[in-house]
Amino acid sequence: MSFHQDLDNMTREMNAASLEVEYMKKTPVLNLILEQKNVKFKGGKKYEGQMDTDTTEDTAQDYSVNEALTHGSKDTTEEYSFRRKYSQVPITIDFEEDLENALETQDHTQLHNLAKHKVKKAQEAMRLHLRKKIYGAASDSSKEIQGLNSALIPDATYGNITRTYSSNVANFWQPANNAYTSSTYASARTLSIQALQGWVDPLQDLENGGGKFVVIVGNTLFLALKSEAQALSRPVEMNVGGTWKYGIEEMTIDGMRIMKDPFLQTAYNTAMGQTTGSAGSLDRRLYCLNVPDWYFMVHPKDNFRLTSFFDQSQIAGAPRFDLARVFLSGNLICLHPNRSLYFSNVTP
C-alpha cells in the first residue's frame, strides 16, 4: 500500500471521531451552543432569515357606540443576512519526514506516528484559531468568523443591519436591550454579586425566550465572585450537572450560572491585539449570554473536513511533500443581540 493511502487510512477515522471534542467541547461558548443543539449544518448562499422586531399593540383601539373603527397594519419584520466565512489549516509532511518515520522492514517498528501527530496538531490549531475568533469583532464584510463582540458592541453593523443608538435606528438589534452606547459599554465597572444581578436582570425577557443566561468571565473575575459569595455565606454550587473537562469550571450563585474560560487572561492579550490593564483586556471582559439566541452555522461539506494527502511532487516544478488541509466554512451568529451583554472594562 502506498504511503499516501496509509496517511488517509490512519487519519480519516481519527479526525471524524474526535471532531466534537477537539473543536467544540474545549471551548466554553461552543460547548454551550452544543448544549442547546444550536450547531446547524446548513448550505445556501448566506445565513439569512426574518425576525419579528416589535408588537402591534399600537394598532389597538378603544371605542364607543357609533364611533368609526380604525384600520391598518404594521410591518414588524426585518431581514438579517450573515456571510459564510472560511478557514483552513494546512498539514504538510515532507519526504525526509516520510523516510525517517517509515516502518522498518523486519519488526515493523516506527520512530513516530507522524500522520497522527500532524493531524492532532492541525486539529488543535483550528481550535485555537476558532477560540480567538469567538472573542473577536469581525465585521459582516471581513473574511474572519464573527465573534461575540461583533454582535455585542453597540452601533456596529451586524447581520447586514445598521445600528445607530443616537438616532434610534434598529434598537431591537442593539445589544443589552439598547441600554449602552458605543462608549459606555467600555466604562470602568467594579464587579460584585449585586452589580452582576443588576446587569443581568434587565435582559431576562422570559416572555420572549430570554432567561437561560450564562455569565462568562476569566479566572480573576471568577475567583472574585466566588470569594465574595463565600465571605457572605452565599450558597455556591460548583460544576452543576457534571464536572467540566479541559480546565473549564462553572458555579451557580443566586441562580446565576457563571463560567470561567481560561482563555480570558492577560497571557493571551498579545494574540488578540489587546493591551493588559486597559478596556478590552481579556481578564477584564464579562459576557452575559442568553444561550438559545446563539448559533454556530457550519457548511455540511466543510465541517472541519480533512482532505486527502496529495503528493505535491506530481506537480511540475513543485517540491516533494504531501499536503492535506482541515477546512471550516461557517459563522457564529446571534439572532437576538438585545438579550445578551458585553462589558470590556470590569475589575474586582
- Run means of pLDDT, 10 residues per run, the chain, 348 residues: 47 50 73 86 85 82 92 82 94 70 53 69 86 94 96 95 92 92 94 94 66 90 94 78 66 89 93 92 96 92 84 82 88 93 96
Q: Is residue 57 part of a domain?
A: no
Q: Is residue 63 part of a domain?
A: no
Domain that holds residue 280: 3-48+80-347
d(Cα 209, Cα 29) in Å, to the nearest integer? Answer: 19
Residue 25 is classified by DSSP as I
pLDDT at res. 97? 61
Q: 344 with 280: CB under 8 angstroms?
A: yes
d(Cα 76, Cα 172) in Å, to the nearest integer? Answer: 11
Residues 6+ apart with CB under 8 A from 136: 144, 145, 146, 147, 149, 150, 272
Residues 6+ apart with CB under 8 A from 206: none
Q: Is residue 156 part of a domain?
A: yes
Angle between helical axes of 219-231 and 193-200 (0-180°, round to 10): 110
* Strand (E) or helix (H) holding 216: strand 213-217
d(Cα 148, Cα 342) in Å, to the nearest integer? Answer: 8
Count of structural domains within the chain: 1
d(Cα 269, Cα 342) in Å, to the nearest integer? Answer: 17
d(Cα 105, Cα 55) in Å, to the nearest integer? Answer: 75
Residue 65, all three cell numbers: 357606540
Q: Is residue 75 part of a domain?
A: no
pLDDT at res. 74? 81
d(Cα 312, Cα 315) in Å, to the nearest integer? Answer: 6
Q: Is residue 59 part of a domain?
A: no
Q: Is residue 73 part of a domain?
A: no
Q: Strand, helix or coil at 131?
A: helix
Q: Is residue 54 part of a domain?
A: no
Residues linked to residue 341 through DSSP beta bridges, in sequence order: 288
Q: Strand, helix or coil at 200?
A: helix
Q: Is residue 74 part of a domain?
A: no
Residues 6+ apart with CB under 8 A from 253: 193, 225, 226, 229, 234, 235, 236
